[in-house]
Structure 1
Amino acid sequence: MHKIFISIITLLLGLPLFAQNLTEKFNDAMNAYNNQLYSEAYKIFDEVIKDYDVEDELYSVARFYAANSLLKMGKKDESTSGFEYIVNSIVWSKFREESLFKLGLIYYDLNRFALSRKNHLMLIYQYPNSEYLGSSMYWIGESYSAEGKLDDAIEFLTQAIEDKSANRYRDHSIYALASIYEKKHDYQNAVKYYDQLLTYHSNSSLALEAQVRIGVCYFYLKDYYNSILELNNPDIQKLPTENLSEALYLLANSHYRVEEYSDAANTYSEVIKRFPNSDIYRNSQYGLAWSLFQQSKYGEAYQVFNTLSEGYDSIAIKSFIWKGESKRYAGQTNEALAIFQNFLVKYPDDPSTTLVENLIGLIYFDQNKFEQSTQYLTNATSSEDPLTRAKAFTMIGEIELQNKNYIKARGNFDPAVRISSEESEVHLRALLGLGVSLFHLGDYNEAVENFRQAETIDPAFEQDKINFYMAESYYSLGKYQEALSRYNNIKSTEIEYVRQVTYSKGYCQFNLGNYSNAAYLFSEFIQNYPDDFRMTDAKLRLADSYFGSKNFAAASKIFKEVFKSGKFSSDDPYTYFQYAQALYKSGESNAAIDEFRNLQKKFPDSKYGESSLFTIGFIRFQEGEFEEAINDYRMVMQIYKKSSLTPAVYYSIGDAYFNLGEYDSAIVNYRNVLAKYPSSEYAYDAINGMQYSYVAAGRSNEAINLIDRYVSQNPNLKFSDQIYFKKGEIYYSQRDYENAKLSYQEFLVKYPKSSFVPEAYYWLGKSSQNLKQDDEAIFYFSKVFDNYPGSESAAVSVIELGKMYEAKGNYQAGIDVLERASSKLKDSPRLPEVLFLKGSAYIKVDDVQKAYATFEELAMYHPETVFADRGKIEMGLIDLAISRFNEADKNFLDVAGRRTDDLGAKAQYQYGVSLFEQGKYSEAVSALVRVRTVFSQYEPWISRSYLLMGDCYVKMNDKRQAEEMYRVVVTKHKGNELGEEARQKINKLK
């Protein structure tokens, strides 16, 4: 300010004498301005302005300080005219740059953000070396942020930070940029910039606030330990009350999330004590109650939940439930039951009623009152909360398991699995229950899959039960090694577990050929459980085990005689070989290898000698020990130079090198098969191996050349056509459709009688189709169908033709070919798809009668296929269109009752539509609720069901329920057609 004043005095000294009175007046104005007498200064500056011409330098000075005086007086709107005048009319003024900056600030304060940006941008572009450059970028960013244009704000704030000029708002720029990233939920970048502020501007007034925001961001990043570290800083006590209460609340939440419940309780208590009027007061009380609950302080938790339950907000309702849970966990089940019953009376229409019914069902379940339990749990299965529904289905499933109603059990566990999240315990319990149900129903593979899923999600969950049922399932599937492994993993000492596991392990060892182990286990079982009903069977299996382990004396005592026919003879190479094979197949690979080596040494001249060495290589290969396998295979050729296994050896060495990724070495060994044994049964496999090696090595052209050379040199081999056919496959797999066509055409010329001719025509059609040569594609597909109706390619060709005609809008041509196909392809497994396409084509030409007949034929003669169910839905839609409601309902219910996939959801929804059309609105609502409970993962049928339920409630004059249904759709489908339709329906209600 002093420098500006001196420069103005210098300017005044150069004025002529006749202007001295103006000079005195100007000096008076400046004195008043410097003494903060802005009203007086403005009046004098205004007089000076009137006495000077615009070309005078003092005129622009007076203009600037007059405007600034108004600004100092708080008259922002009035001051803008002065600054605007300088900017627009006195472009030579040295105050124009500062005027642009001040206008940007004033318009920002007046929320006129576009004008603010305009002036700051003019400053940036017209004064690129301005000292205000970085500051203007900051304020542009802030203005964009204020308008919610966050990406634009990020751009300018980033430039403001990177600007090398004197930006006095640099710390504010960094803080603003971090806060915008926080608004965008990009908490990683938010932390990055808040931390940058702390690093480079540690003395900033924003530093403490930045540290708190880092803690908040870590909380939302679920990095709770770092959140605690940041928010535990004692300096946060210096924050304003509102910010401090938020920081402490999030600190308490972070302690809770990392299971530091005592620290959480203390911090929640601090918030409650210090900020009784805060918006988060009740939330803090709720957090305190939960922290006490997690510490098993159920009495104290009850007291807090009870206090909260006396309110009228959502926390009160949740607390009402959890005060009951506090009693239940404290073992006071009758008091808990009374609280839950009271909740149902007080809040009969609250969505949480199903959760409470679930909890009541759980109490009755624990009291073995299964009938009462099922009653409440069944009500809970209609809850809109997936977790509550899943828990209810799971508990009902467990009741049905206890009653040995395995089909009903499966029917309840299955939806529980589908609607629960993987990380929840109920999902694990439902998987376990579903697996047990499937085991008892004899579906062992599916049972194993469910057990494995549960084990993958949480390896510590019900380990003994899962291992037991997996072992039993594997045993039933004949997978004895897997079963044995699972039995061995069971750690339980319960008598029934130990008894069953001992018996079952004996059988596993016996079936695996580990007879000594089997004998030990059956002996233990007989000794420990002499009264078991399986005693006789156990003794017989013990005898078999002794015999298998060559303990013939012990076996004879049980069987009363010695069985000699099955004894192991070490002098018989065949038996020795079989014994070694059995060791390998039972998983004892190392022992098998040892025995094969012993056999070869003992019987080197027998045919089993070379086979033993070859099998050692095979075992190494299967174990993934490819280099060792190669050495063992070569040993066969070294010892048996004229071995009949040589082609197999070369081929196997090639496979080993392929698996090692040494494709050139693989090719050399495959070529040995072709060069030395071109008629061998391994020749075709060797060609395949070379082809895959070339392709894997990125040398596809060499694979093509190989095929050409081999076929040319061996034209009469029985599989030459099969090899040549692979040229087209290679080109097609590389999407080189032109060369694929050429190769298949050459194939047809070269091998006109090959069994691959129909397939060649089909792939000619596919290649032409991909080249957009539709007429040629139709010709080739027709050729397959007309000339080779008995081939596997005929049906797929017809399907392609039907789809192509439909795409072209030539429905009649499609119908004609599909009509012929439905009679000529009676034995094809693809006939159901053909029939469905035909029915769909009839619908396209409005021949509803023939469409219906086609779908009816499909449903009658191919009921096990998915196309039959698709056909039934189409039949139902036709019935619905002509108001034949009984038939429509029958078709829809048949599909919806059997399927649990998207088709089932569609059928269930259409059944609801049918009931609605019949005016049965209450029944329609019930049908549509089943879409939500049974088919909860299949949108858009869920949302369509909500829309139609809303329509039902409108018809029943229940506008409140109708609006609730429509709002569910609006929430799920903001911005799309379904959401807009729901919104319009809501508007019509008003």
Structure 2
Amino acid sequence: MERKYLNMHKPHFLKTFPLLALAASLSSAPILIKAQLSLEQSAVERNWDKASDAYEKKQFSLAMNILEDYISQSNNTNSERHVKAEYLSAICALNLYHKDAEFRIDAFIKRYPESAYVQDAYWAIANHHYKRRHFKKAVSAFDQVNIRKLSKDKQRELRFKRGHSLFEEENYEKARYDLFEVMKNPGTFLAPSTYYFSHIAYINNKPQVALDGFEDIADHPDFVDLVPVYIAQTLHATEQYSRLKTYGVDLLENNSILEEDMRTEIARLVGDAFYKDQEFEKASPYLEVAWKGTRGPGRKAEFAYQVGYTRYRMGKWRSSLDCLALTAREDNKLGQNAIYHMADCYIQLGQKDKARNAFGRCAAKNYDLDIMEDALFSYAKLAFELSYNPFDDAITAFKTYIEKYPNSIRHDDAYRFLLQVYLTSRDYDRALEALDQIQEKDPTVQSSYQLLSYNRGVELYQAGEYSNAIIYFRKVRKFTINPKLAAESHYWEGESYFAQKDYKNATECYVEFSRSPGGYLSEYYPDADYARGYALFKRKMYVDALSAFRSYLDAYPEENKRQYNDAELRTADCFYAKKEFSRAVNYYSRCLERDVGRIDYILFQRGMAYSLSELDGALESQIADLDSLLEEFPKSRFVVEALYESARTQIELNQLEDAKSRIKILLESHPRNPRTKEALVDLCLIGIKQNKPEDVLLIWDQIRTSYGNDPVASDAYNIVEPLLIERGLLNNLPPAVGLSGQEIEERLFKAAVNLAIDGNYTLALPRLEEYIKQYENGNHVGEANFYLATCLNDAEDYSGALLLYEKVLNLPPSEFTEASALCAATLSWNAGNYPRALDHYRLLGEVATLQSNRLEASIGSMRCYYLLDQSQEAFRFANEVYNDESTPESIKRTAALWIGRINYDSGNTDDALAKFNSLIKYGGSVGAESQFMIAQVQYDLKDYSSAEQSIFSLVSEYPNYEEWKHKAFLLLVNTYIGLEDLFQARATAESIMENVEVEWIQNACSDLMMTIEELETAELNIDIENEAEINDDVQD
């Protein structure tokens, strides 16, 4: 039950019952008795009479002036009349609201503590404070009044005013005592005392006591407009639904003077009463009234579900969707129910594609297992009924066949000879083309076809060209001469699919490999279960993945220690994903005992598994593991999560100061991490628990100003709402707490962003622009700018896309910060703006949570630093990437290549050669470049003969890498020049000019030809000079 109105109307009584006028409080003051003076009374006595007369007429300013004159002329400060003059002067100042009035009253009480006027002074100052709503001071002053010396009516008045003041100060226990004393007997202040007493009862969770009190004053003319909503709330809180229906319906139908917000609240309570009894038709009109009258944060998920489900039961499918969609955002059982009923609404509306998506989302949530099962069945049924499945594109998009050369008349012997040429040069593509032209493919040809296809597939795989590699691995199985090779083609095809993150096809290939006749004979047979386990793990099929990993662990404990350790770690991950956290803890512990691999990851995972298990001391164990991670791996990518999760656990354990310390470390050391905003919310919670409202308000202000459009502001608001109400700080709430027109904004946004997600960028672009124009500070402005940038990127408006990605980056960190940093870095890089790209790569490195993006940030930074001639930084990043255990092998090779390049540029030729030599074995473009760089280093060292041999090796081993082959030929020309073999230099250059049509090669070759001609000319001149010298000698 909400206390909305009970809190809202705390000051209402003060409007209906104005505080007693201070002048009336002085009614008990001693009546001035005019002294009967003789005809010769002095001027002093005349002034006294004037002062008394002015005071009685409430001419306080005049009276005060005369009394001040009297006091200044009085010689006896202890005389009764002097004391009275001091008292009356102070009371005049109080009535005139002089700044020193309180001081004067206090001074009088201290100067004349035995005076009969002291109690009157306390009473006057207490009423003065009460009237000015200085309740704390009023309580203190009322406490000074000797209540036994007051009349019964005054005692009653004091108890009410003091009780009300205590109520306003939220000292409810003491307030109850005074208010109850007033309520014991009929008389003045009975109704307001009952009101506040009932209010306190409701706050103290005694709704029946509150209900009795509110009903007692229900007909009181000063409360008849205010109390009905409280009665309805307390009837609801005491679950007296039958009475609530009767009372609430009668009130709504017959009370025309109810304020709109009260009418809304009562309608909601009545609707809820009918709803709980499943009387949906009766509940509907009241819930609709309440829904219409509720805005912003009042439309909570539970209320939205209630209205949506009632509409659903009434057959109002489309309007039901509006409300259920608000609840569907919740990741809980209620959200799952909402999605389930949304799916049925879509079916009723004939929108089966949307229904299928809704059932799919519902089936992915495991809160209600019965609904989950039914949703999964419904999803499968609709997928069968619908004529298309958009996710088939990921499977059908792979090309499995290549285009054949047109048939021509050729002799098979000629193609067999040509085949041998291609085999010698390792030009597998052309060799296979030749094989295709051989009409009679005997077993030898078939065997060659298998081997060539396999080798080309492996070569493409090593070069990272996975789609093309799959084509060749499938070609291997065109002929089955070698069953072992055919089986291994399934394995490598699976590896290729895995590298492309197509884990479904990868799984099928690994299974096919294990089933194939030649699979058992293959060296890869032990790896198949391991690889299959990984593919199933990536597909979140943890039960099957677990089976595969454990099969591997049982069968091959000694084959590959690194792989065995990793399989055991993935086994732990599977148990974790299956929510078998105790078993996960056990396997993570086994991994930690061996002290190898990614210890930081294992510590983090075991800590989280502890926190989710039912093991004794689980939460303490979680904190211990996360502390070990923080101490031993201060630069781990899990540091932020470790700080965040351990802090949350300490909040749960009520270790609030420790939790606060961790959160502050997180905020100070990682200010741009997306977790910071959630950490600020937890700081709010800690402040509330520690009763530190000022700290809470400071944090709330930070969240409100920095994350006003982020849903996290709503989370924080739910925590600080009572404090904001208490302080009267409900103005300037951030947009995320609740915006008017939110449904319209959500519709516009979803319509636009769904087009972008579906790849309809042309249609999405104007809609996203319109959304941003209308909602410059909307809830989704960051996301909208991100998708608009994606649309512009697709439209090849790269500069526009870059500006928008950078706009997202200037917003507070969100789930789109990482992707925007990556895109902005890529676009800047592609545009050749390396300083700008470097800034974005550095930001990406700060915010990235995905390992792939962290690596991309390091690689991008390495490249930018290199091209900006900042070799030291480039070298640092390259080594960082190379030495990271989680770096994929292909990226490690790239990093090693860059380390070699930087060493070469720095003149460190020995280290450069070592790196390049280590990369040759991997083949692909990396191998080709490394082979070229070896030749380049040898050329630079003037070891021309070795350079020549290295160039020949490159041309022989990497015939398909045209760029490096062409560069090698150019270097060969220079090598021959170095060897002073100008004949070979010219012949090679001319051959390049005739056979290579690439413009930059032609230009470079032309320059070399000019150099050769100059050298030939110089050589000729030397010969002429030598011949002339010989002739001179002969003549002599």
Structure 2 length as normaliser, TM-score? 0.36
Structure 1 length as normaliser, TM-score? 0.37
Q: Which has the higher contact order (CA 8 A, sep 6+)?
A: 2
